[in-house]
Chain A
Amino acid sequence: MESLIQCLAAFIGCFGFTFIFRIQKNIRFSIIGSLIGTLGWFVYLITASLNNIFLQSFIAMLCVSLLAECFARLYKAPATIFIVIGCFPLVPGSGIYYTMLYAVQGMNDLFMESFLSTLGISLSLALAILISSTAFQIYKRIKTNQYIDMG
């Protein structure tokens, strides 16, 4: 039940973000972006058995960015639109909060721990975007036969 509420909240929340990023005419992008974001969180939840937040974030973000690239090809739109919206549920917002809370309360061990985990999650997300974008770049080169001349 709790995960259902979370997924629903993620969807509506992402949809709200599309307005902040000024999508007002192409509502289909808003809906697809929010669905991708929700799916990302869903993947994060069902991989909970891995018991590793870095791996979970990585896999979820990989799904998000791969789907974003697919939809970008489909609609001939920049992939940024979908990635920006889809990444929000995975952003370590609570990590920032706890890091600051522990820093303020002077609990240095916990501070270091949550700081490193926030950093780790961010890096996992970055790595996932890197990998999927590069994969699509390679795919594009192979498909259009534009190999780089090695001289």
Chain B
Amino acid sequence: MNDLDILQQINKIGQLLLKHGAEIYRVEESLKRMCEGFGFTDIEVFAIPTYFTLSLTLHDGTPYQSSKRSRSNRTHLDHLYELNCLVRQISNQELSLEEIKNKIQNIETQKLNYHLILIGYIVSAAMFCVFFGGHINEMIVSAFIGFILYYFIYLLEKLDVNGIVRTILSSMVLASIAIIAQKMNIITNQQSVITGTLMILVPGIAITNSLRDIIGGDFVSGLSRMIEAILIAASIAIGVGIMMMVLQGV
């Protein structure tokens, strides 16, 4: 087996792990374990949420160094699980290079079912509205907002609008639809609609990962994700607040 071919695949796995929302310690440990499995020495890995560097000594004694960047990160828990299994198999030396290549390609080329994601937006918006005390009318309006939000966020992501502005605009959309529905007397409980639908925007993964990074001792990454979570929560509040203020007198 060629060392550089293997390392190329390992780098790819590291990049995918970062991209799909793994904690920093998982990225670092996975890379280290895989390299140890192939018998490389002097392995040093350092990762932050958008970047990692890997340096080691090859079997013939030459030093190797690589760094990879992963900018467009988005959570994908299915892939996270598959990558985790793949890393475990590679560290135990269960796979040949061809099998590793195939598995990575499998993960990379998997087609997402976007209809399911749309259903996810609609169902979770509607159900969390019920959860916060909405009745049938509120539920229907929330489902509608979930439907709109899916396409709105999809559009903003296509245009590569940054996360903060995206969250502000999306929360403005959801708040304005809810308030207008309230003014038109379609719903009576505006609070349940707004709280239920803003759940979609809540930065759950950023909070969880930032705490788990801090536990792992990666304070730089933990803090950067914490700031991300706080900024997103603040932008939700700002977006909803602006729309409340604007539509108050209408």
Binding site for B on A (CB under 8 A): 5-6, 9-10, 12-26, 29, 76-81, 83-84, 87-89, 91, 93-94, 96-101, 103-104, 122, 125-126, 129-130, 133-134, 137
**Chain B residue, CB-CB nearest to A129:** B211
How many angstroms from the CA of A88 to the CA of B124 in the assembled complex?
Answer: 10
B26 at the interface (CB under 8 A from A): yes
Please tell me if the beta carbons of B131 and A9 are within 8 angstroms of each other in the complex.
yes
**Chain A residue, CB-CB nearest to B115:** A19
Please tell me if the beta carbons of A16 and B124 are within 8 angstroms of each other in the complex.
yes
Given contact pairs A24-B78, A80-B80, A130-B211, A94 touches B132 in the complex (Cβ within 8 A): yes
How many angstroms from the CA of A6 to the CA of B196 in the assembled complex?
Answer: 12
B161 at the interface (CB under 8 A from A): no
A-B contact pairs, 8 of them (CB 8 A): A5-B130, A10-B128, A13-B130, A20-B120, A78-B26, A80-B80, A97-B194, A97-B240
Please tell me if the beta carbons of B212 and A97 are within 8 angstroms of each other in the complex.
no
Given contact pairs A9-B127, A83-B208, A133-B215, A93 touches B132 in the complex (Cβ within 8 A): yes
Q: Which of A6, A22, A29, A133 gathers most chain B CB within 10 Å?
A: A22
| A interface footprint on B107-140 (CB within 8 Å = 1, 0 otherwise) | 0000011001101111111011011100000000
Q: Which of A10, A23, A80, A104 gathers most chain B CB within 10 Å?
A: A80
**Chain A residue, CB-CB nearest to B245:** A104
**Chain A residue, CB-CB nearest to B200:** A20
How many angstroms from the CA of A53 to the CA of B210 in the assembled complex?
Answer: 23
CB proximity of A4 to chain B, nearest CB, Å: 12
Please tell me if the beta carbons of B130 and A80 are within 8 angstroms of each other in the complex.
no
Within 8 Å by CB of A88, from B204, B244, B245, lies B204
Please tell me if the beta carbons of A134 and B215 are within 8 angstroms of each other in the complex.
yes
Within 8 Å by CB of B195, from A78, A97, A122, lies A97
